[in-house]
Amino acid sequence: MASLQASCTVLSTHPRSHSSSSTQPLSARPSHLFTLSRRSDRFQVSCDAKKNVESSQGKIDRRNMLLGLGGMYGAANLLANPSAYADPVQAPDFTKCGDAHDAQTGAALDVKCCPPLADKIIDYKLPPFQMMRIRPAAHRASKEQVAKYEEAIRRMRELDTTDPQDPRGFMQQANIHCAYCNGAHDQVGFNNLDLQVHNSWLFFPFHRWYLYFYERILGKLINDPTFALPFWNWDNPKGMILPPIFDKTDSPLYDANRDPNNRGSAVVDLTITRSKDNLQLVANNLTAIYSEMIRSVSTATDFMGKPYCAGTNPNPGPGSSENGSHTGVHWWVGTKDTSGPNKLNEDMGNFYSAGRDPAFYCHHSNVDRMWTIWRDVLKTDVPKDITSANYLNAEFLFYDENKQLVRVKAGDCYDQRKLGYDYERIDLPWLNYRPPKKAAKAKVSNISDAKTAASVLPINLKKTVKVIVPKSAKGQADEQLMLQDIQTDTTKFIKFDVFINDEDDKIEELDRAEYAGSFAQLPHKTKNKQGKSSISLRLTSVYEDIDVADDDTVVVTIVPRSNGEYVTIGGIKIVPVPPRSS
């Protein structure tokens, strides 16, 4: 079976247009399959995912159709240019929804998370603007706001018994996440590939739309069009505990499937360093957020996630925010006792069950807020919007507050104010949390056990690894570290941290000039158990802070925090930061 390197550099410059008021039958629209993509002359993003031409029935159908159209797309041309297949990821076909899978064993889960069927799909149009919903920080929400929130969730839970097929019910809403993340949906036209909304550029838009409808449903259930979902303000020290509104056992916001050690006054460990020192945890948290929002980011896809297009493998690579604080909160809240009944880290620690914890939506409200802050507030040299049609035209299906099945596009949710909500303004204490400059330049000769990349590749992370990596050029100050072909067991919880010229080895402390960034992944099931990802970490300000721009090489220290034995890194190199296009 030939495996071809495909990229989605070919873009639909004339994306499909749906007549906005029309309704569509539930199954995949035939027009999807006839859409031809064309090479864009204005913008390129590479998908760089491997795909297997022979094994995908959908792809062969597609090629036949292309051949039928003749012209320049001859067979030879197609085989030589597999990227001609590139298209945005399509909304799933609910009629083909299958079982979700246990992340650990790969067996079908004892849960059915497929959504109810509908007889039509409506292309969603934003309703006329009424009033802005202002999402409050959970720890600052007023009594009245909390009471409304509790009542709305209570009514949502009630639907589970009074009308289990109502798509607005609590379990139905939780199952949306399960179906989009644990292999229940295939990509339309590609039966051998899961539809996965994590570890790629679909992460932010999928969750924004998910919460948008969730919030509107809650508002509808209590007849309050101003209802706004609180956010868990874990980027501010005052919000770095589980918000107390989720911690009352008699509240509808409570969930029993959580780590019992991480409630009350326990400080959230976004970075999974497991430090026992609360002040160090806070410092690590602020450092990590500063890093994922500013320090390690060179391009829009560094922050938002790597390109993921129709017909390419899921999990091309998470963005810095998904990869960092987002995953840390899931891990921290979920159970850790794998001998008990929740051995899959339920609820928050596994994609299939995360939506069953009301705290999930409050957590994601902050994840969404971080996107807004990154895009609208931060003044950096990084372009903020991905403009590839393969991103803009990726589609999802949700049920709205009126139980209508609607189709939305990733590109239609950039501005949350147009979606009718905004966030309470709060201090951003991480904004200037740049680690202090190192007092004296590190002596690389003090770093024992450093090996050349050639002698350690592929790098297994059973234990800490130190690799000597050449800079792209002496004096080159604007560079990034590329970790490529990161192969993980996706059924395991994974985390590792990266440091540059670290002679001190204080690995519990991230608030140091040497810290360059992290990689993390929640357990999930894909058809290919081994996912391959890549990340890039910008080094520009690390260099400044440790004074190495004029050196020829640096030592990269990679510290495993969780399940390092299930990680290998196939490539490591330092390259100049690319010219500014997302």
59 near ligand C2O, judged by CB under 6 A? no
Check whether 207 is labelled as a binding-site residue: yes
Give the x/- contact pattern for ligand C2O in 236-265, rule: CB under 6 A: ------------------------------
Check whether 364 is labelled as a binding-site residue: yes
Task: Report in angstroms how near the CB of residue 357 gets to ligand C2O at its nearest.
Answer: 11
Interface positions, 172-201, toward ligand C2O (CB under 6 A):
177, 181, 198
18 catalytic? Reply is: no
Whether the CB-CB separation of 169 and 115 falls below 8 Å is answered with no
32 catalytic? Reply is: no
Of 330 and 356, the one with the shorter C-beta distance to ligand C2O is: 330
CA nearest to 386, candidates 5, 11, 97: 11
Within 10 Å of residue 353's Cβ, how many Cβ atoms? 29
364 catalytic? Reply is: yes
- Report residue 467 as tokens: 């690799």
Interface positions, 357-376, toward ligand C2O (CB under 6 A):
364
Task: Report in angstroms how near the CB of residue 306 gets to ligand C2O at its nearest.
Answer: 16
Of 221 and 329, the one with the shorter C-beta distance to ligand C2O is: 329
Of 360 and 499, the one with the shorter C-beta distance to ligand C2O is: 360
330 near ligand C2O, judged by CB under 6 A? yes
Helical spans, DSSP H, in 70-103: 75-80
Of 45 and 359, the one with the shorter C-beta distance to ligand C2O is: 359
Check whether 101 is labelled as a binding-site residue: no
**Could you give the CA distance from residue 496 to residue 498 in angstroms, rounded to a whole number?**
7
Whether the CB-CB separation of 547 and 268 falls below 8 Å is answered with no
Check whether 326 is labelled as a binding-site residue: yes
- In degrees and rounded to multiples of 5, residue 502 shows phi and psi of -90, 105
**Could you give the CA distance from residue 346 to residue 356 in angstroms, rounded to a whole number?**
9
198 catalytic? Reply is: yes
Check whether 185 is labelled as a binding-site residue: no
First to last CA, the chain: 33
520 near ligand C2O, judged by CB under 6 A? no
Whether the CB-CB separation of 576 and 476 falls below 8 Å is answered with yes
**Could you give the CA distance from residue 484 to residue 514 in angstroms, rounded to a whole number?**
21
Q: Which of 101, 330, 363, 524 is catalytic?
A: 330
Residue with tokens 């027009």: 31
* Cα four-point dihedral sign 557, 559, 565, 566: negative
Kindly calculate the radius of gyration of the chain based on its CA atoms and give it in whole angstroms.
23
Task: Report in angstroms how near the CB of residue 509 gets to ligand C2O at its nearest.
Answer: 27
398 catalytic? Reply is: no
Task: Report in angstroms how near the CB of residue 322 gets to ligand C2O at its nearest.
Answer: 8
**Could you give the CA distance from residue 354 to residue 342 in angstroms, rounded to a whole number?**
12
Within 10 Å of residue 472's Cβ, how many Cβ atoms? 13
Buried/exposed 210-229: b ≥16 CB within 10 Å, e otherwise: bbbbbbbbbbbbbeeeebbb
The one-letter amino acid at 429? P
351 catalytic? Reply is: yes
101 catalytic? Reply is: no
Whether the CB-CB separation of 458 and 486 falls below 8 Å is answered with no
The one-letter amino acid at 142? S
Residue 333 contacts by C-beta under 8 Å, 6 or more apart in sequence?
A: 242, 258, 259, 262, 348, 349, 357, 359, 363
Give the x/- contact pattern for ligand C2O in 542-561, rule: CB under 6 A: --------------------
Q: Which of 185, 207, 363, 524 is catalytic?
A: 207
Check whether 177 is labelled as a binding-site residue: yes
Which of 185, 208, 326, 495 touches ligand C2O by CB under 6 A? 326
Counting residues that bind ligand C2O (by CB under 6 A) gives: 8
155 near ligand C2O, judged by CB under 6 A? no
Task: Report in angstroms how near the CB of residue 271 gets to ligand C2O at its nearest.
Answer: 16
Q: Which of 101, 185, 364, 524 is catalytic?
A: 364
Judged on CB neighbours under 10 Å (0-12, 13-18, 19+), 468 is: middle
Q: Which of 32, 101, 177, 524 is catalytic?
A: 177
Of 366 and 480, the one with the shorter C-beta distance to ligand C2O is: 366
Which of 228, 270, 354, 461 touches ligand C2O by CB under 6 A? 354
Q: Which residues bind ligand C2O (CB under 6 A)?
A: 177, 181, 198, 207, 326, 330, 354, 364
Q: Which positions make up the binding site for Cu cation?
A: 177, 198, 207, 326, 330, 364
User: Where is the binding site, in residues?
Assistant: 177, 198, 207, 326, 330, 364
- Annotated catalytic sites, by residue? 177, 198, 207, 326, 330, 351, 364
